[in-house]
Amino acid sequence: MTPFNLPKLIRDVFDPQPRETALFLVDLPTPESPESPDWQDRRLMAADWRAAFLEYGVTCPPILFFPATGANNGDLPLAGQMQKQNVCIADELAKVDIALAFTRYSATAPLAALAQKTGTLRVASLPGVLRRMEQTALAADYEEVARQADALAERLQRAESAQVIFSTGHELFFDLRFRNAHADNGRCRREQTPHLINLPSGEAYIVPYEGERGEPSQTAGEIPVMLHGETVLLTVKSNRITEVNGSSPEADRLRDLFAADPTRRNLAELGLGCNDCAVVSGVVLEDEKAGMHWAYGRSEHLGGTVGPSAFRDPSLVLHNDVVYAKDSPIGIRSLILTYPDHSEELIMENSTYL
């Protein structure tokens, strides 16, 4: 693996130009989400990256701090602080060319919406990023990451369906009709505005058809989920999680989560992570770049139809990923894409791309 080179990453990913500006956003602990060493690490990391951008010749306003939302992809608060002065987050984002969010809770979805609103902003969202990732997924060859992500996105774009068999033997059919695939390929450059990537990068993704055309979605099957050593089995019909099967506390927790808002039952993503330097450690940001994953909840930021207005309350909005990479407790026995001419392609076997 190539040693981490932050100036090279800035150049390869952002290719910043003279007179461009970059704003760093950091969420802060709250009574509901208390301080931790990882949180402190992210604040120091954001400061170091900001210093590197300054050395690159980019103008950087003071770091914008805001209270943690407490939920992945929940709406951001309206206000934050820069040098202890209250500011409107949307207004500050409208002033800059690049935004980097070093957050505990993913801000990817609301930042994607704000990027679309400005029309010129490009964003790198780093939810849950840790310093050690500078020696793993952030140290990848991002030219190779882009090549693999683009190749997988091209296949997902052509596919009408995906059939997944998990290592447990359970099967899930993804209906991929009427959707566009995307590559989170580590490119966040000026010619791609508005634009948003995750860092570390390296995946192709698509939202399963959600039934909005009046024709029912064909996404159906069973999904095994490992939670704190307990396997919970989810039943899926018409792209919705209809049952949580199991008697463990983890199964009860999931039932409560879906009971709080039925929109959370929506299957929101099929993702194919392809960063060869990503390792599975329990941090979704990096785990999902190591292999296949799916998500439930909000989808409009990825090309679907389910946004915050579909939820009962803004506090209930979420988008949660579940990962099945090579070193995950549950893997992928096979993943087959089917194309409009009825031909099939075996993309993955035993959690490894072919």
Q: Which domain holds residue 269?
A: 140-182+201-353
Residue 188 domain flag: no
Tell me the per-residue pLDDT of 245-290, one tens digit each, with 9 for 90 and over.
Answer: 998 999 999 999 999 999 999 999 999 999 999 999 888 889 999 9
* Residue 192: predicted pLDDT: 79
- β-strand partners of 296: 267, 320
* Residue 282: predicted pLDDT: 86
* Residue 1: predicted pLDDT: 57
Same domain? 133 vs 162: no
Report the Cα–Cα distance between both ends of the chain, in Å, rounded.
22
Same domain? 228 vs 346: yes
State the chain's mean pLDDT as an integer: 95
**pLDDT at 298 > cutoff 60:** yes
Tell me the per-residue pLDDT of 207-218, one tens digit each, with 9 for 90 and over.
Answer: 999 999 999 999
* Those residues with Cβ within 8 angstroms of residue 7's Cβ, 6 or more apart along the chain or in another chain: 52, 55, 56
Same domain? 50 vs 15: yes
Phi-psi region of 298 (alpha: psi -120 to 50; beta: other; left: phi over 0): beta
* Residue 13: predicted pLDDT: 93
Residue 117 domain flag: yes
Tell me the per-residue pLDDT of 129-156, one tens digit each, with 9 for 90 and over.
Answer: 999 999 999 999 998 999 999 999 999 9
Residue 77 domain flag: yes
Separation between Cα atoms, residue 100 and residue 121, nearest integer Å:
11
Residue 349 domain flag: yes
Q: Tokens 């190591």 — which residue?
A: 290
Same domain? 156 vs 302: yes
* Those residues with Cβ within 8 angstroms of residue 303's Cβ, 6 or more apart along the chain or in another chain: 179, 180, 182, 206, 207
The stretch 159-171 carries a mean pLDDT of: 98
Same domain? 174 vs 300: yes
Give pTM, 2 decimals.
0.90
Tell me the per-residue pLDDT of 16-75, one tens digit each, with 9 for 90 and over.
Answer: 988 999 999 999 999 999 999 999 999 999 999 999 999 999 999 999 999 999 988 888
* CATH (domain of 66): 3.40.50
The total of structural domains in the chain comes to: 2
Residue 280 domain flag: yes
**pLDDT at 178 > cutoff 60:** yes
Residue 120 domain flag: yes
Q: How many other CB atoms sit within 10 Å of the CB of residue 202?
A: 31
The stretch 116-123 carries a mean pLDDT of: 92
Same domain? 146 vs 51: no
Same domain? 130 vs 172: no
Residue 310 domain flag: yes
Tell me the per-residue pLDDT of 81-99, one tens digit each, with 9 for 90 and over.
Answer: 999 999 999 999 999 999 9
Residue 94 domain flag: yes
Tell me the per-residue pLDDT of 181-220, one tens digit each, with 9 for 90 and over.
Answer: 999 999 999 987 778 999 999 999 999 999 999 999 999 9
